[in-house]
Amino acid sequence: MKKMKENFKIIIVGALTGLLCGIFASGGGLVLVPAFVYIFKLTEKEARAMSVFCILPMVLASLVFYQRSEYIDWKLGILCGLGGVLGGYIGANLLKKLNDKYLVLIFIIFLIYAAISILKM
């Protein structure tokens, strides 16, 4: 019963993240990282790695629906994606070297910057 309850929590977090990913274009990591740390007790580094792992299928599912609505500019997306591969590689290597406290601080600064940017719109 305990395992079933834990699995249910995981599915709920995934569903919420998928919903946000579909609506906000892959903002699901903002939900997953804190959920993995505070609900599932992963370390900061484990939470970020699991977030990336979980977001991939969500992004692919959203991509199908966005493509059906003809919102995708493939050239722009592919070129940006190539840059994303490079940035992801660099970021994953930096993750290994950064202390968890700095990761939390960087995440908070990013959230504040994102919030201010949205408010300016």
Q: Cα 53 to chain center, whole Å?
A: 9
What is the rounded CA–CA span in Å between residue 22 and residue 16?
10
* DSSP code, position 36: I
pLDDT of residue 98: 85
pLDDT tens digit sequence for 104-116: 888 888 888 888 8
Over range 94-105, report the average pLDDT. Answer: 86
Q: Which helix (H) or strand (E) holds 40?
A: none
Amino acid residing at 38? Y
Average pLDDT, the chain: 84
pLDDT tens digit sequence for 2-19: 888 888 888 888 777 777
pLDDT of residue 20: 65
pLDDT tens digit sequence for 11-53: 888 777 777 666 665 566 778 888 899 999 999 889 888 988 8
Q: Is the pLDDT of residue 74 over 80?
A: yes
Global confidence as pTM: 0.67
Six-digit token string for 8: 């249910």
**Which phi and psi (to 5°) does residue 34 adopt?**
-65, -35
